[in-house]
Chain A
Amino acid sequence: MGDPLIAAMKISASGLEAQSMRVRVISENLANAQSTGSTPGSDPFRRKTISFGDELDRVSGATLVGVQGVQTDQSPFPLEFDPGNPAANAAGYVKMPNVNLILEMADMREANRSYESNLQVVKQAREMISMTIDLLRGGN
């Protein structure tokens, strides 16, 4: 086992990476919130979801967090009446992406908060390490 404080920094670094991946997926969803298909009746952009899982770091024995995978949301596409759209079916309805803006914003805020708390851990661990090193200085 190495230094637990350094392990703490490693763990929160993995949290930072996981949350940034989450922000990436959210931004893909938001950017494609209006991406319809291009042929009549075709499927639009399908919302992506991300899932996390614990990962064992064999070197330090610490439990990190990792992205387990990016899946797609299987909920149905909402229909919108727009006969002029190239993706409109025979009845004039267009399948819109199953992206809910409110949900994405809430998810983004949660990712932001989680990122912040991981950063706080890094800050604290760093401060504790340098306070310990500072014991050697001064008092000569």
Chain B
Amino acid sequence: MIVSAIGDSKALQAVQGTPLQPKAAENLTANEGFEKILNGLGANAFEALRTGESTAIAAIEGKATTQQAVMATMEAEKSLQAALAIRDKIVSAFLEISRMQI
């Protein structure tokens, strides 16, 4: 299945920060693979955003340095952008498949 191949996508692993190791062929159904990607992307970006936000608040309260706040926010921005770009790419691949002439 093409879609389950996307499910094993290295992009997802890279965004999640897990080492890029080739996975043994998992028996994923089409839906599982696709949902897994979107969930993984969302969860990771969300986590980064949450860290960025809490550090920014700590900096406003004077508990963290400005540098820490800026770094955490930039990290969140970067994760979100990467997740969005990969999601757009995968969604367009999925649409490409669904538009296929039968």
User: Cβ of B59: which chain A residues have Cβ within 8 Å of it?
Assistant: none
User: Cβ of B3: which chain A residues have Cβ within 8 Å of it?
Assistant: none
* Complex Cα–Cα for A135 and B85 (A): 9
SS of B interface (majority): helix
Q: Which residue of B lies closest to A118 (CB)?
A: B67
Q: What are the interface flags for B24-63 relative to A under an 8 Å C-beta threshold, 1 for contact and 0 otherwise?
A: 0000000000000000000000000000000000000000
Binds B, one of A50-58, A88-96, A101-109, A125-133: A125-133
B24 to chain A, nearest CB (A): 24
* Complex Cα–Cα for A136 and B75 (A): 18
Q: Total interface residues on B, using CB and 8 Å? A: 15
Determine if A137 and B74 form an interchain contact, defined as CB atoms under 8 angstroms apart.
no
Q: Which residue of A lies closest to B83 (CB)?
A: A133
A: contact size bracket: 10 to 19
Q: Which residue of B lies closest to A21 (CB)?
A: B65
Determine if B78 and A136 form an interchain contact, defined as CB atoms under 8 angstroms apart.
no
Determine if B85 and A133 form an interchain contact, defined as CB atoms under 8 angstroms apart.
yes
Spell out B's residues near A (CB within 8 Å).
Answer: 17, 65, 67-68, 71, 74-75, 78, 81-82, 85-86, 88-89, 92
Spell out A's residues near B (CB within 8 Å).
Answer: 2, 6, 9-10, 13, 16-17, 20, 122, 126, 129-130, 133-134, 136-137, 140
Q: Which 6 A-B pairs have the closest CB atoms?
A: A136-B85, A16-B67, A13-B71, A133-B82, A133-B85, A136-B89
